Structure 1
Amino acid sequence: MHDPRFSVLSEDFAAAPHRYYSRLREHAPVHHEPAADSWFLSRYRDVRRVLTDHEAFTTETLQVRAEPVMRGPVLAQMTGAEHTAKRKIVVRGFTGQVLQDQTRVIRANAAELLAPLLAQGRMDLVNDFGKPFAVRVTLDVLGLDKEDWRQVTAWLAGVGEFITSIGLTPERRRHCLDCAEALEGYLVPAIEQRRRHPGEDLISLLSTTAFDGVTMTTREVTALVVNVLVAAVEPADKTLGLLFKHLIDHPEQLAQVRRDPALLSAAIAETLRYTPPVQLIPRRAERDSEFDGGVVPAGATVFCMVGAANRDPEAFTAPDTFDIHRQDLGTARSFTAAAQHLAFGTGLHQCVGAAFARAEIETVAALLLPQLDGVRLRPGFAYREAGLYTRGPVALPLDFTPVPEPVAALR
């Protein structure tokens, strides 16, 4: 169904999507956007159904939306034995001892970047810290030179624009493809060098590991490395900024997390539910599919509205309330395949980097919270979020009283 008075692509929706979630779920749960010729699903049960029914709703749309800039197929496009084997390779790069080593890398990078910022008593958590940190730590984990972060960030912006734009002009499309080609040119020599001389980094692992006789070509490794870069960088700075915004807006919960650091995981899980950084997950309907509210035709592009689904009262009590103590979320399972929220997707193609994301945000937040005494938003700052496909704060300027202990002592 289509309501001509409303559009997911409108400026009003872009300014504050959460204001429209209940309207969509109640009156247009299967919403058609003629301009994009796509269907948008907003109910929790419908979104979960689409993400778990891999025969009726496939990831074929990624062949057009992602593969040209990923430089090859990514995990979400794969099925069967190929998907199982390659997913195992990637998961191995984010679990066990490897993840423990990565956590030390995360902490060292965070401490290095934070030291000069903390001394000033003010910083933009998103632009001064979050964005450079997310790229630098991912490059470090991959085994690339983190000093290249500015150039890699520029290339990734083009890649991300291609994947997340509902419509691109020919000029922007060419720019995005040029960014992807440049990024590929940067990565391929490093991948080939690690094949010959592997180290302990993630690129070495992806380049040399085989499961069930499956090894990967340079093109396949390149696609997965770009996949890791996009997946690790895009949500990280957004989630960190959103976490601090919600805690500052709820000072009693901020105080509780300060007193009991064990609550930090719950605060991150609730942030992912309340304001997931990835708002849309695309699928293609392989056959006509009926929902309570409309029919999605075969061949149609379906966008699962994760933000709306995560605030569905059928799935969560008082869903429009930020509450780190909610009983219907489950912190222990919120970063696993059994998560109740849908911020990491669900089913066969759930995000493989959930454990790394948790380690990254927890490590940084645990480092920051004791160092930011009296943290508050800068006076006069007008908070704003941006993004339809992925969404987060445009900026988050904070004022605080620095504590005397140097960051270096916390490494």
Structure 2
Amino acid sequence: MTASTTVPEKPDVLSDEFAKDPHSYYKVMRDHYPVLHDEVSGYYFVSRYDDIARIYKDSDGFSNENYGFQMEPVIGKTVIQMSGREHTVNRQLITPALRGNYLEELLPQVDDLATEMIDKFRTAGRVDLVEDFTKWFPINVIVKMLDLPRTDLAKFHEWYSSLMAFLSNLTNDPEIHAWGMRTQQEYPAYILPIIAERRRNPGTDLISRLTQAEIEGEQFTDEQIKALIGLLLIAGGETTDKSIASTLKYLIQHPDQLEAVRNDPSLATQALVETLRFHPPVQIILRTTTDDLEVAGTVIPSGSVVGCVNGAANRDERRFEDPDTYNIFRTDISIKQAFAGSADHTAFALGRHFCVGSLLAKREAETAINQILATMPDIRFADGTVPADAGLFTRGPKALVVEFTPVS
């Protein structure tokens, strides 16, 4: 006789229980439901590493058309949903600003912004690093890049929060839809006059550079720049915020690794990469099938929305050794390739649509991690309480309250 194997119940991806602790369900998905069809949203959630890597790299079988309803209604059409020559040209127009000389010029200012923000609580002895630092640091960097008033930071945070909610609104919540529609009106009214003025009188800021950029005789329109800046707010704000907060959280939980980073600041990169694997800030990225396609034995119909569950893929024991252990010294992931389209983790997607702003995110996180650790030599969770995470599409600590002895 052979013992019968009980198949666990199919996880409800939209349930409160799933949102509280998705990692407890990810292994069930990988082992028993590698393609999980959710009847409420109609989406197909894929959880194994090899399947997700294939989806990201197969630009013929899987498209980014889903961003047409996820983002375009709020900020307009962006490079993230383009394909073919349109995608190539737009990406070539963007890349120099986020990976070229301009980025090198910006980096010292990134360091200065971090120092300025940390100085405000350097002697406090207790601080919520999410509310007082990680939530605002990436937006400060973007506002600096765009040469916009820092007094408008709250507006930018409101707009990118509404866009993130709209993007991940699987249940079609009418209040979230209405929030996105308000941003659809408020954001263009604010940014389009600024873009028009920079086109007339360009400076050295990113908006001015985008108005002047040209590839094969093509330039960005004001509407395209508006959409791109909206994308930059959400991609550069929400995800970097959560990457930094999560990395600090896991280092505090692993004091030996924290001390290693403190003693060798270059290891901050390894800590960030391990966080991108262990607990990616973007847990789910969507794609759309362009034909009937088979994934893990399941045929996904043409035109279906596919949820690539990065949080599950990056802990797939078929790909990573001891995947549920946070280890900045692991040898089964390349640090050199971690911020390129050939990365081992899936946090930034893979292939042609790999996040073009990954190098900026890398530098922001390195700066933040090293400056925080240098400022707080005995950093610890306040009251010994490990902070809880929140979010389905993007996920990170809701708060990160720490205590430390101020350095004189």
1:83 aligns with 2:83: no
2:21 alignment counterpart? 16
Q: 2:75 matched to 1:110?
A: no
Amino acid at match of 1:102: L
Please point out which of 36, 40, 43 is paired with 1:35.
Answer: 40
Cα shift at 1:290: 1.1
- Indicate the residue corresponding to 2:127 in structure 1: 123
**Paired residue for 2:4?**
none
Q: Deviations over 1:367-391 (max 9, x none)?
A: 2211111100000535211111111
Q: Does 1:272 align with 2:276?
A: yes
Q: 2:54 aligns with which of 49, 52, 59?
A: 49
Q: Give the AA of the match of 1:12.
A: E
Is 1:63 the counterpart of 2:68 in the alignment?
yes
The equivalent of 1:96 in structure 2 is 100
Question: 1: CA distance between counterparts of 2:11 and 2:350?
Answer: 29
Q: Any residues of structure 2 matched to 1:208-247 within 5 Å, and which?
A: 208-247=212-251
Counterpart position of 1:139: 143
Letter in 2 for 1:66: M
Aligned counterparts of 1:81 and 1:300: Cα–Cα separation in 2: 24
Measure, in 1, the Cα distance between the counterparts of 2:292 and 2:199: 46
Give the AA of the match of 2:233: L
Q: CA 1:3–1:76 in 2, change beyond 3 Å: closer, same or farther?
A: farther
CA distance in 2 between counterparts of 1:329 and 1:32 reads: 30
Deviation (angstroms), 1:78: 1.3
Residue 364 of structure 1 pairs with residue 348 of structure 2: no
Residue 167 of structure 1 deviates from its aligned partner by 2.0
Instruction: Tell me, yes or no, if the aligned pair for 1:136 and 1:147 is still in contact at 8 Å.
Output: no
Selected match of 1:324 from 328, 331, 340 = 328
SS at match of 1:373: coil
Q: What is the match of residue 174 of structure 1?
A: 178
**Cα distance in 1, alignment partners of residues 289 and 50 from structure 2:** 16
Provide the rounded CA distance (Å) in 1 between the counterparts of 2:261 and 2:369: 10
Does residue 149 (structure 1) correspond to residue 150 (structure 2)? The answer is no
Which secondary structure does the structure 2 equivalent of 1:402 belong to? Answer: coil
- Once the two structures are overlaid, the 10-residue window that deviates more, 22-31 or 196-205, is 196-205
Q: Does 1:355 align with 2:355?
A: no
Counterpart AA for 1:94: L
Whole-angstrom CA distance in 2 between matches of 1:100 and 1:299: 41
- 2 CA distance for matches of 1:167 and 1:336? 33
Q: What runs of 5+ residues in structure 1 fail to find an aligned partner?
A: 405-411
Distance (Å, rounded) in 1 between the aligned partners of 2:238 and 2:247: 15
In 1, Cα distance between equivalents of 2:219 and 2:55: 31
Gaps of 5+ in 2: 1-6
3-state SS in 2 of match to 1:93: helix
Which AA in structure 1 matches 2:48? R
Distance 1:102 1:235 in 2: 19
Partner of 2:326, secondary structure, is coil
Equivalent-residue separation in structure 2 for 1:281 and 1:59 (angstroms): 10
Contact 2:169 2:176 in 1 (8 A): no
What do the CA deviations read for 1:300-329 (whole angstroms, capped 9, x no partner)? 110000110011112211111111111111
Query: 2:327 & 2:13 partners in 1: Cα distance?
Result: 27
Aligned-partner residue type, residue 231 of structure 1: A
Point out the more displaced range, 167-176 or 86-95.
167-176
User: Which stretch of the first structure deviates more once superposed, 304-313 or 145-154?
Assistant: 145-154
Residue number in structure 2 paired with 1:161: 165
Aligned length: 402
Residue 81 of structure 1 deviates from its aligned partner by 2.1
Aligned counterparts of 1:263 and 1:372: Cα–Cα separation in 2: 17
Aligned equivalents of 1:214, 1:299: Cα separation in 2:
31
Kindly indicate whether the alpha-carbon contact (under 8 Å) linking 2:196 and 2:222 is maintained by their aligned counterparts in 1: yes
% identical aligned pairs? 38
Query: Does structure 1 conserve the Cα–Cα contact (< 8 Å) formed by 2:37 and 2:43?
Result: yes
Contact 1:279-1:389 within 8 A present in 2 as well: yes
CA deviation vs aligned residue, 1:147-168 (integer Å, no higher than 9, x gap): 2101221122211111122122
Give the aligned partner of residue 3 of structure 2.
Answer: none
Distance 1:231 1:395 in 2: 20
**SS of residue paired to 1:118:** coil
- Matched to 1:247, the amino acid is L
